[in-house]
Structure 1
Amino acid sequence: MPVDTVLLVAAVVLVIAVLATALVGVGTLLWMGVQLLALPGVAVHEYAHKRACDLVGVPVLEVVYFRFGTPAGYVRHAQPDRYRESFVISVAPFLVNTVVSLAAFLGLAALAATGGADVLSVSELPGAMEAPSREEIALALGLGWLGLSVGMQAFPSTGDANTLWRRSRAEWRRSPVVLLGIPVVFVIYVANLLSWLWADVLYALALGVAAFYAVGALGL
């Protein structure tokens, strides 16, 4: 790309950033940026809830896959008739987000191991490696963003935990087997509490480390 074009694009981006900052403020702009970074994870999380409802036959009343607000996404559905239906709907995002995040990181690790390793290199010997193409860089950034964002949104919300807790209290005398779900409720509460200590980020990074380790162990 010509230098003049790069400078023009950079100037336009700078002007837009300055205008946006002046109009909405730094805090709002940063908040919107964080929300956009979380977009893939929120969408996959809510999609998992939606598909779980379809799977167990619970009617879905409203779905918002992403919005600028709190919560960033949600699924409203009818009251499940059985505890196991509530359990499946509540824990589905953990399974689906984990699988999607791990798949994205596996793709990133495979790219790094099979010709795109230089994309992730901080430095390289002159002439030792072929310079990465823009497509490789874009793919690496996209996979990294997808893996991190989706992995960070894997934990069920406290709302999911509240639903399971209410069902457990209401039904354990009639069906003691629901007590087996209480440890899951406890884990959800703890995970959301630890999210203040970046537990969600650490979980996503752990999936990335596991993916790179798996690709390395397979010798790709």
Structure 2
Amino acid sequence: MKTFLVLAFLALGSASAQAAEPETAAARTIVLVRHGHYAADPSIDEKIGPGLSPIGVAQARLAGGRLAGWLAPFDARYVSPMQRARDTAASIGVAAPLPAWEVVDDLAECTPATRRKEVMNKTTPEERASCEAALERVFAKHFVPARGAPRSDLFVCHGNVIRYLITRALGVDSKAWLEMSVGHASITRIRVEADGRFKVLSIGDVGHLPPNLATGATGDGDRSLAVPELPLR
């Protein structure tokens, strides 16, 4: 009986030691999708903002179709609280409904410090500091290696947010974020290696959109879904 108790105690101690061992680090792939096209509406609370336009819905559906075709499913999905981002997430979810979306307030659109004086003049130091604090919280929490096994996380948010996070992954001056341009419903991919190194795999990819639906990036023109009139015979 005494021998049995000793063996049981040793087995329990071994199991406890194994449970206490930290999970090994693994790679994390972060996919950042900018919301689709929307029409500005000053009558709507700017903290929520307007929803998607018909073109924006079409863009988001096409982005969702592309994401649904990827071999590895997403382990988590996060979305900004603003309406255009939530509409984009809902449209993406038609093609890829799982897992459920988690609303993250820190993903809301804001304007961090930039090199452009004309942009800086439109915000206060307090607004810029609050913006950067929120984005730094996102970076500190999510832009880290996975634990136990590789994973992929999807974020639907905003152009300023995505560009700032890209500069942080690149390890460059964050004030350079405005020197990039990412279109509506574009896809940016960043890989965090198990050892913490970053690899920016793509920025503002719109390969899933036909040229007549590309909006939101420098050089993109106005678009319409209106059917053109047929020429008279």
- Answer whether TM exceeds 0.5 for this pair: no
With normalisation by structure 1, the TM-score equals 0.22
* TM-score of the two chains, using structure 2 as the length reference: 0.21
- More helix, by proportion: 1
Structure ranking higher on relative contact order (CA contacts 8 Å, 6+ apart) = 2
